[in-house]
A and B are shown apart, each in its own frame.
Chain A
């Protein structure tokens, strides 16, 4: 059996994954198809040294990264990968409602480009799991049309970068229809697929669309992190009468999370528009979504351990509607805010959160808001360049320290080096 290994930028994690976690056979992810580039290892090691991180921090951060891959204890709670969570949610919703159907490239015979729709073609047949020609504009428009007439399509984009081909249908045909038709045509459609950067997939496959879709009235935009998020939010999205953009993350598909019995129930839905406080704290609020929630949690552990800073981590779960109450309540408690996202910084999700907090909780802020975002560049491919283009755990740690005045604010630091 040929093991297809996922490419990760961290060589240590890469080695651990090889040894402790076998990926699904033929999971079809692009990294698997392209094969592992072992040369990365050399690159990254040099790069880490060159960046002159303190040995302690880097040692610890490497250790933090190791933790999820080793399970030294056996646990009674069930675990589920995000992939299985999405698959089970789709399966249950299709079983419950014959109007639900899936459409997209490779969703049927190939079992899904990322195996999210595995087994569904066999179970529900080609009428409900529809393989399409290569035209996102075409199948998005067709999905919207079928929703106009009462079906409940789940449209898969191979990545949300390809949704740009269909964005007119998502926005003008889906999001605005209920309003433009004065309530006569509602569109119970879900657009889902991986969003944001993966690993080494370059500029045309790495953009994050949360801010773009998050600005459109008429859409709901969801960003699950854990398996529970994935199950609960996807079910809620399919049942929702409005169009929903469901932004997943390719690298999270294979990650396992503990899942409660309640979340495994076939009627389990999470409310749309409610954020989750993943970790309570009192010193600084860190907002994040999707993969960055994991990074923020790890940053919070480092902050606790090394700096004694007690961070509160909020998993947004929903970009639109944005849970401003939870965010503001948290900032009123901690008085400091760091927003984290992988997308481009200008007009990003962090900008909206910052504005919301300044409007509603200005008096409660003890420090300026810090935004951590991806670099303002199209995503480069080379592994080192890619790593520098996206937030890493230490970036979050340093930002939290800055808002806690444990280190100089950015503006001062830059001026000092000028």
Chain B
């Protein structure tokens, strides 16, 4: 069920809530914020173990079970409120602390079950055959692209690569639910968004090889794609800095009253940065149309989720800042599509930030500089690469609908593989960027010292040609 948990509601006990919350009608009023806070203090004693995202290991927190005290006793009605700065607050005569974690975790929205069949009485946005097939083929392209480029790095043809294996649904389905003019601020594990918007395989290859056709003029490491044309801000990859930037850009959209929002992606690790908290707080205060999309894939390089945070994931942090939030199954393309579709509508119509936490698994290594078998069990990795793979579930669904087949699959995969190897070969052969690209774009107009340095460099290269590589164009 598609239900955003917002500041005005309390946490439900149902695993899959049946009713749909249609509107969040107005920006948060202090009255309702504080008035419902007492309802969260539930009086049952409970144990605080809960499943971690990769299953198996149980997490025990240090706090012991609470006293069985019912502070909402009807004997002494506590109706008095006081008007503190920030709004009215009800009093209580019992010094009860809110628990460090709720007894039940925020439920996770999904549309398809593990076998790719729609859940009965589910609620989601209906998509057409064209859209579904386009989404699936893009997911396959992304998976094949990642595999082949990863291999290219292993062969020494490129210096570095970072895969999106396991998160293809997040990449493609979220991009599909956005408009092309929504401004995207990626972390680095979202090339699928750019792929969806029309960035060609050759363009990806050119950036990886840093050749003169690279949109980024060879300035950055591999996977730092960016394209103004596609409204995809160049990956800077400094963790979390894109989050407040997205809020600022959303402020610009708000001022200009555009029918667009900004979207920013980050991982569970990125949600620990100071930037995340400042940005969330600001976005709520400034009431800007931004979607915070957290890819909770369980790992920040070698740091597992329970070493990263002790809250109920990232979704509960939305409530702390007064932002409507939802948790979705990150391996369910349809769930992501529906959630982002609805979030976008909310963000723009109501001018509010929205937080989406997608639970998934980073099935690949962090990057080519990482070997994750060193810190996590191989069978866990295999499980998520296999059964829980987002492509499998979505494929089962579209095949049931009669929109896809094995032949279509193998034809598509071999075509993409061929295109990719051609793209790599072509990119390898293209010249490197010209020397002028060292000095341009530092400023809008190059400063005098840079012009002097360029002249000096050219002169030096001319004079000592034997010291410089011959394949660098002047």
A residues near B, CB below 8 A? 101, 127, 130, 132-133, 135, 137-151, 153, 168-169, 172-173, 176-186, 217-218, 220, 240-242, 273, 321, 324
Given contact pairs A132-B282, A141-B279, A184-B227, A179 touches B219 in the complex (Cβ within 8 A): yes
Find the A residue at minimum CB distance from B252: A149
Whether B278 pairs with A141 at a CB distance below 8 angstroms is: yes
Q: Is there contact, CB below 8 Å, between B279 and A180?
A: no
Provide the bound-state CA to CA distance between A135 and B286, in Å.
Answer: 14
22 A-B residue pairings within 8 Å (CB atoms): A127-B255, A135-B278, A135-B281, A137-B274, A137-B275, A139-B278, A140-B244, A141-B244, A141-B279, A142-B244, A142-B248, A143-B248, A145-B244, A148-B249, A176-B236, A178-B444, A181-B216, A181-B219, A181-B234, A183-B217, A184-B227, A273-B447
Q: A177-B236, A181-B226 are in contact. Are A146 and B251 (CB under 8 A)?
A: yes
Among B215, B219, B282, B440, which residue has its beta carbon within 8 angstroms of that of A138? B282
- Contact between A149 and B183, CB atoms less than 8 A apart: yes
A218 and B448 CA atoms in complex are apart in Å by 13
Write out the residue numbers on chain A whose beta carbons fall within 8 Å of the beta carbon of B219.
179-182
Bound state CA distance, A220 and B214, in angstroms? 28
* Residue in A146, A172, A218, A241 whose Cβ sees the most chain B Cβ within 10 Å: A146
Collect the chain A residues with CB atoms within 8 Å of residue B185's CB. Answer: 145
User: B215 contacts which chain A residues (CB < 8 A)?
Assistant: 182, 184
A321 to B215, CA, bound (A): 28
* Cβ proximity bits B182-200 to A, threshold 8 Å, 1 near / 0 not: 0101000000000000000
CB within 8 Å for A217 and B442 given contacts A185-B234, A321-B447? yes
Q: Are B444 and A321 in contact (CB under 8 A)?
A: no
CB distance from A16 to the nearest CB of B (A): 43
- Pair B275/A141 contact, Cβ less than 8 Å: yes
Residues A172 and B241 in contact in the complex (CB < 8 Å), given A148-B233, A182-B219, A218-B443: yes
CA distance A182 to B183 in the complex (A): 18
Closest to A183 in B: B441
A183 to B440, Cβ gap below 8 A? Answer: yes
B243 touches A (CB below 8 Å): yes
Given A141-B241, A144-B248, A179-B441, 17 extra CB contacts under 8 A: A135-B281, A138-B277, A139-B282, A145-B246, A146-B248, A148-B245, A149-B183, A168-B238, A173-B236, A182-B226, A182-B437, A185-B226, A185-B233, A218-B443, A241-B444, A273-B448, A321-B448
CA distance A144 to B228 in the complex (A): 16
Q: Is the interface of A mostly helix, strand, loop or mixed?
A: mixed
B466 CB–A CB distance under 8 Å = no
Q: How far is the CA of A127 from the CA of B288 in the complex (A)?
A: 12
- CB-nearest residue of chain A relative to B290? A145
Nearest 8 pairs of A and B residues by beta carbon: A138-B278, A145-B248, A141-B244, A145-B245, A142-B248, A146-B248, A182-B217, A181-B234
Min CB distance B192 to A, Å, is 20
Given contacts A133-B285, A141-B248, A182-B217, contact A173 B241 (CB under 8 A): yes
Q: What's the Cα separation between A185 and B215 when bound, in Å?
A: 12
Residue of A147, A180, A182 with highest tally of chain B CB at under 10 A: A182
Shortest distance in angstroms between A219's beta carbon and chain B's nearest beta carbon?
Answer: 9
Set of chain B residues within 8 Å of A145, measured between Cβ atoms: 185, 244-252, 262
Cross-chain contact B253 with A138 (CB below 8 angstroms): no
A142 contacts B234, C-beta separation under 8 Å = no
- Kindly provide the distance from the CB of B285 to the nearest chain A CB, expressed in whole angstroms: 7
CB distance from A170 to the nearest CB of B (A): 11
Question: Which of A133, A145, A242: most chain B Cβ within 10 A?
Answer: A145
Partner of A179 from the list B227, B282, B442, B449 (CB cut-off 8 Å) is B442
Q: A149-B253, A172-B238 are in contact. Are A137 and B278 (CB under 8 A)?
A: yes
Number of interface residues of B (CB under 8 A): 49
Q: For B241, give the chain A residue with the smallest CB separation.
A: A173
Chain A residues with CB under 8 Å of B448's CB are: 273, 321
Chain B residues near A139: list those with CB within 8 A: 244, 278, 282
CB distance from B353 to the nearest CB of A (A): 12
Cα separation A168 to B219 with both chains bound (whole Å): 19
Q: List, in ascending order, chain B residues with CB within 8 A of A140's CB.
A: 244
Chain A residues, Cβ within 8 Å of B102: none
**Listed residue (B248, B275, B285) with the most chain A CB atoms within 10 angstroms of its CB:** B248
Contact with A along B339-354 (1 / 0, CB 8 A): 0000000000000000
Contacts of A169 in B (CB 8 A): 241, 244
- With CB as the reference atom, state the residue of chain B lying closest to A136: B278
Residues of B within 8 A of A178 (CB): 441-444
A241 to B247, CA, bound (A): 21
Contacts of B277 in A (CB 8 A): 135, 138
CA distance A144 to B255 in the complex (A): 15
Q: Which of A144, A153, A184, A242 contacts B443, CB < 8 Å?
A: A242
Q: Is the CB of A147 within 8 A of B248?
A: yes
A217 to B446, CA, bound (A): 11
CB distance from B269 to the nearest CB of A (A): 16
Residue-wise interface mask of B (439-474) relative to A, using a CB-CB cutoff of 8 A (1 in contact, 0 not): 011111001110000000000000000000000000
Residues on the A chain within 8 Å of B246, using CB: 145
**Complex Cα spacing A138 to B447, Å:** 30
Beta-carbon nearest neighbor of A144 in chain B = B245
Selected from A133, A147, A153, the residue in CB contact (under 8 A) with B282 is: A133
Given A148-B233, A180-B234, A321-B449, A141:B443 Cβ within 8 A? no
Report the minimum CB–CB distance from B28 to chain A (whole Å).
16
- Tell me whether A137 and B244 are in contact (CB under 8 A): yes
**Shortest distance between the CB of A98 and any CB in chain B (Å):** 8
Chain B residues near A177 (CB-CB < 8 A): 234, 236
Contact A142 B447, beta carbon cutoff 8 Å: no
B275 proximity list for chain A (CB < 8 A)? 137-138, 141
Any A CB within 8 A of the CB of B220: yes
Report chain B residues within 8 Å CB of A186. Answer: 444
**B residues less than 8 Å from A150 (CB atoms):** 252, 256
B249: A residues at CB distance < 8 A? 145-146, 148-149
Of A178, A180, A217, chain B has the most CB atoms within 10 Å of the CB of: A180
Which residue on chain B has the smallest CB distance to residue A217? B442
Q: How far is the CA of A139 from the CA of B248 in the complex (A)?
A: 8
Q: With the chains together, A168 CA to B243 CA distance in Å?
A: 13
Q: A179-B441, A182-B216, A186-B444 known; A142 and B245 CB under 8 Å?
A: yes
> Which residue on chain A has the smallest CB distance to residue B288?
A142
Write the nearest CB–CB distance from B7 to chain A, whole angstroms.
18
Q: What are the residues of chain A within 8 A of B255 when measuring CB–CB?
A: 101, 127, 151
